[in-house]
């Protein structure tokens, strides 16, 4: 037992702070592509970022800083600790989240992670955190090597994020060490433009982002999406109901969609897989069952 406690003390988990904008202003450069799905896309991308971070063995907790109630509810359901945004700018929000994290676990290192990493892989984040643990203050540049996607400090050190615009240069000028690591493309690929999204899709989007992107890119095509949703309601008399996607979007399904699957009954709160034709559900089955080929 003493050996386990010593190992835990020598290898503390990271507190990851993720800032999430109010949805009405999020992803403005993707407005033309995303259309009516822009807010849902922002929540989905943040959801995939947070879920991947929480799945990383080196992460002890994720603190989301947001002033948006929809994002707060969706990300809180994933297991994030959500705190209100002080509305004083991005870096002030990050410092606010970091202070909260330090109060929760003063002995753990703290990092900021951008919320728009829809292809984030837990193993790649673990590689970044391992490298960050070897230096007092460090950062990871974005794929364009202009901005920053990750900034971290060891426990007890000042947390001084310099995000926004040409933040790579500001982090360097402030004395933070730049992490130069192979094999961490998913941690560097933030998404602000359609070209960024195409690059992220090439790496492999998370399930929430994939579901929304399928509706953005294939509005009139039948698109099977192997992603889970949660049953909101079901009427056994009409065999119709509705589900919540993990980004908070509610979609209705009719008797034809229910009858296309193998089920006889659904209960509120059950997890299901669905197939979509645009925004219309065409097939519903339990999450433990695959979608049809």
CA–CA distances in Å: residue 252 to residues 41, 44, 245, 284: 19, 19, 11, 11
* The pLDDT of residue 129: 98
Of the listed ranges 48-57, 165-174, 196-205, 243-252, the least confidently predicted one is 243-252
Range of the domain at 51: 2-207
Mean pLDDT over the full length of the chain: 87
- pLDDT grade, residue 130 (50/70/90)? very high
179 and 237 part of one domain: no
* The pLDDT of residue 224: 44
- pLDDT grade, residue 260 (50/70/90)? confident
Does the pTM of the predicted model rise above 0.85?
no
3 pLDDT above the threshold of 80 = no
Task: Give how many domains the chain has, as a whole number.
Answer: 2
Domain stops at, among 153, 181, 207: 207
102 and 182 part of one domain: yes
141 pLDDT above the threshold of 70 = yes
> Does some domain include residue 88?
yes
User: Angle at which helices 207-217 and 38-54 pack, to 10 degrees?
Assistant: 160
> Does some domain include residue 129?
yes
Q: Whose structure tokens read 């728009």? A: 116
217 pLDDT above the threshold of 80 = no
Q: Point out the annotated binding site.
A: 148, 164, 167
Q: Point out the annotated binding site for phosphoenolpyruvate.
A: 148, 164, 167
> Does some domain include residue 212?
no
122 and 160 part of one domain: yes
Domain stops at, among 175, 207, 239: 207
Domain stops at, among 207, 238, 272: 207
* The pLDDT of residue 214: 78
> Does some domain include residue 292?
no
85 and 150 part of one domain: yes
């Amino acid at each position: 037992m003493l050996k386990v406690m010593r190992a835990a003390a020598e290898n503390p988990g990271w507190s990851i702070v993720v800032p999430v904008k109010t949805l009405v202003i999020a992803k403005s450069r993707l407005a033309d592509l995303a259309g009516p799905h822009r807010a849902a896309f922002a929540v989905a991308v943040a959801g995939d970022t947070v879920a991947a971070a929480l799945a990383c063995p080196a992460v002890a907790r994720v603190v989301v800083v947001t002033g948006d109630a929809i994002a707060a509810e969706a990300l809180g359901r994933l297991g994030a600790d959500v705190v209100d945004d002080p509305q004083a700018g991005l870096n002030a929000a990050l410092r606010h989240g970091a202070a909260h994290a330090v109060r929760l676990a003063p002995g753990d290192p703290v990092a900021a992670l951008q919320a728009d990493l829809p292809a984030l892989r837990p193993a790649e984040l673990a590689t970044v955190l391992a490298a960050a643990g070897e230096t007092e203050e460090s950062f990871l540049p974005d794929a364009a090597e202009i901005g920053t996607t990750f900034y971290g400090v060891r426990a007890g050190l000042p947390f001084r994020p310099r995000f926004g615009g040409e933040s790579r240069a500001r982090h360097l000028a402030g004395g933070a060490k730049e992490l130069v690591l192979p094999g961490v493309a998913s941690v560097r690929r933030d998404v602000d433009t359609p070209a960024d999204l195409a690059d992220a899709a090439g790496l492999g989007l998370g399930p929430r982002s994939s579901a929304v992107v399928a509706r953005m890119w294939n509005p009139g095509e039948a698109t099977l999406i192997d992603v889970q949703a949660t049953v909101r309601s079901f009427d056994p008399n009409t065999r119709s109901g509705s589900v919540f996607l993990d980004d908070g979007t509610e979609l209705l399904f009719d008797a034809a969609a229910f009858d296309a699957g193998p089920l006889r009954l659904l209960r509120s709160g059950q997890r299901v897989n669905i197939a979509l034709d645009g925004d219309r559900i065409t097939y519903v089955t339990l999450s433990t069952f695959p979608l049809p080929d």
